Amino acid sequence: MPATARTHPAFAYLRARRRRPASWSDRYTSVFVLLVAAAVLGHPVAEALAGLAHRADPARLGPGLALVAAAYAGFLALARALGPVVLPAADASWLVTSPLPRRAVLGRTALLLLAAAVLAGAALGLTALWMFGAPGQLGVRLAAALVLGAAAGVGGMATAVLGQQSPAADVRLQLLIGGALSVAVLAAVLGAGPTRRVLAAVAEAPASLGAAVAGVASVVAAFLVRQAWAALDRIPARRILASSTRTARVTSAATTLDPGMLTWVAEDAHWRGRALRSRPWPRLVSRLGPASALAWQEWLRVGRRPGRLAALMGAAALPAVCASATGGGLGPAAGLLLCGALTAAAMCTAGVRRDGGDPALARMLAVDGRAVMAARAVLPALLAAAWSALALAVLQAVGALPPGAWWAFGPAVAPALAAGALRMARRRPVDHSMPVIDTPGGAVPTGPLFWALTGVDLALVGSLPTLAALASRPASVAPYLAVQAVAGAAVLAAYILRTGSGNRP
């Protein structure tokens, strides 16, 4: 390091911010906390490790591996979305652009990323071991699972760091995410038919083979970590500044309990700096009136992000995977079905959110509020109908549902889900002045609770016939379909009539 850099005031600031040497009280506190944690968690952890010594259930191998692969893909996607190399906004604004060595500035962040990757990977490894079981040599299999999971987590995080440094490496990271999702789909397919014997053979593989695979993965992870450490000096400052600003907004939303801010952060991060091509609007939109013109922006927004739409439709297999992983139980699968369909409907309500944040602009348009709300409900209803119909068809294909027109519940429940998504988009920020309820489990703030239930309550009430049909699995679904069609249309019509009054969108 040059002598001029060592005497730089910013470098002196970094040295001043280093933690002071640990005193005897600090060491005593650390040891005491570790002993208490070992005393409290020792017995549950020992029981959990002893429960790993079982043979794998062939029916659950495929769905379990699919969930682990999907979780790994989500881990990589989260690392890519956050940066992953970030600094506090105040430090990033001047330390990154200073002549200081980049590794000295980002060293602490790199250690935190390494620790997070090891913990996340070890958790995934333990989950995979619980799915595959450890019929013999529990110690070797446990060590191999922990090492393999930690290596996968560290290697994935290092790949994300390399992706932040180079667009070519970012393409490789996206391919890795796509590969993890492909493994999830392949595992779900292999575990649903006679080919599950392939996964059963993997579960019965000798422990030495798992140890060898873990060793190879560790070598690859170490190589990627070395590459990522060398790439810290070459990460463009603008990318670190952008990721630091984005992470600061996410942290602010989390500390102030305002989850609605996360939506704006994600949208602004995607559309900032993008050059959009101007295209002529279809003639049908202009003929249908100004309400359709206001709603057409949602169609354009969805059409400009085909990747997200494809990922959403691919996630329609998750309820079937969940049902197979739980042994055919439809409780968790029904909840996942409702959440997924509501997510599909809420994906195209950005215009409603912006109008809710700026109602004066919406009133200046002088367009009938009911007509605008009805026009904006079309696309959420269509997406919710397509997603839920596809998810129900996959559920029936894997044998979780009896014969019948279960796919028809998708179009029937879609209006209620669209109403719930529109209500979610119009909700106000969290009201922290609401009272706090004291419960035996601790204090529960009602402000975030009411915020989270706004919109979900309407979708849940409107989809009760579908949930009842999934719980009872009747021989004939025609009565439930009729009730669901009436309930869904009634919920959406009532919501449009109520919220569209007063010329409000």
Closest to 241 (Cα-Cα) out of 25, 350, 126, 85: 85
Q: What is the pLDDT of residues 50-77, one digit of tens each?
A: 767 767 677 777 778 888 888 999 999 9
Residues 226 and 304 in one domain: no
How much is the pLDDT for 13?
58
Of residues 257 and 187, more confidence is placed in 187
pLDDT surpassing 90 at residue 445: no
Q: Which domain holds residue 196?
A: 32-251
Neighbouring residues of 355: CB distance < 8 A, sequence distance ≥ 6: 361, 362, 505
Q: From CA 328, how far away is CA 396, in angstroms rounded? A: 11
Q: What is the CA radius of gyration of the chain?
A: 26
Domain membership of residue 43 (yes or no) is: yes
Residues 314 and 236 in one domain: no
Domain membership of residue 455 (yes or no) is: yes
Q: From CA 234, how far away is CA 167, in angstroms rounded? A: 12
Cα angle, residue 100 at apex, residues 97 and 102 outer, rounded to 5°? 80
Residue 136 binned pLDDT confidence (cut-offs 50, 70, 90): confident
SS3 for 455-469 is CHHHHHHHCHHHHHH
- Residue in this structure with the two tokens 């009729």, named with its chain if needed: 482
pLDDT surpassing 60 at residue 501: no
Residues 331 and 464 in one domain: yes
Residues 405 and 346 in one domain: yes
Q: What is the pLDDT of residues 211-242, one digit of tens each?
A: 888 899 999 999 999 999 988 888 888 888 88
Residues 400 and 457 in one domain: yes
Domain membership of residue 157 (yes or no) is: yes
Domain membership of residue 262 (yes or no) is: no
Residues 233 and 318 in one domain: no
Residues 110 and 52 in one domain: yes
Residues 66 and 140 in one domain: yes
Residues 229 and 351 in one domain: no
Is there a contact between 379 and 298 (Cβ–Cβ < 8 Å)? yes
Looking at residues 131-145, what average pLDDT do you find?
79
Neighbouring residues of 381: CB distance < 8 A, sequence distance ≥ 6: 345, 414, 415, 417, 418, 492
Domain membership of residue 18 (yes or no) is: no
Chain-centre distance for alpha carbon 484: 29
> Looking at the 3D structure of the chain, how many domains does it have?
2
Chain-centre distance for alpha carbon 54: 31
Distances (CA, A) of 39 to 34, 45, 113, 405: 9, 10, 28, 55
Return the structure tokens found at 484: 């669901």
How much is the pLDDT for 22?
65
Looking at residues 366-387, what average pLDDT do you find?
87
Domain membership of residue 278 (yes or no) is: no
Q: From CA 154, how far away is CA 464, in angstroms rounded? A: 44
Q: From CA 408, how far away is CA 268, in angstroms rounded? A: 36
Q: What is the pLDDT of residues 324-367, one digit of tens each?
A: 777 666 788 888 899 999 999 988 888 888 777 777 777 777 77
Residues 58 and 162 in one domain: yes
Residues 471 and 381 in one domain: yes
Domain membership of residue 273 (yes or no) is: no
pLDDT surpassing 90 at residue 412: yes
Mean pLDDT of the chain: 82
Residues 220 and 296 in one domain: no
Domain membership of residue 218 (yes or no) is: yes
DSSP string, 143-212: HHHHHHHHHHHHHHHHHHHHHHH-HHHHHHHHHHHHHHHHHHHHHHHHTTSTTHHHHHHHHTS-HHHHHH
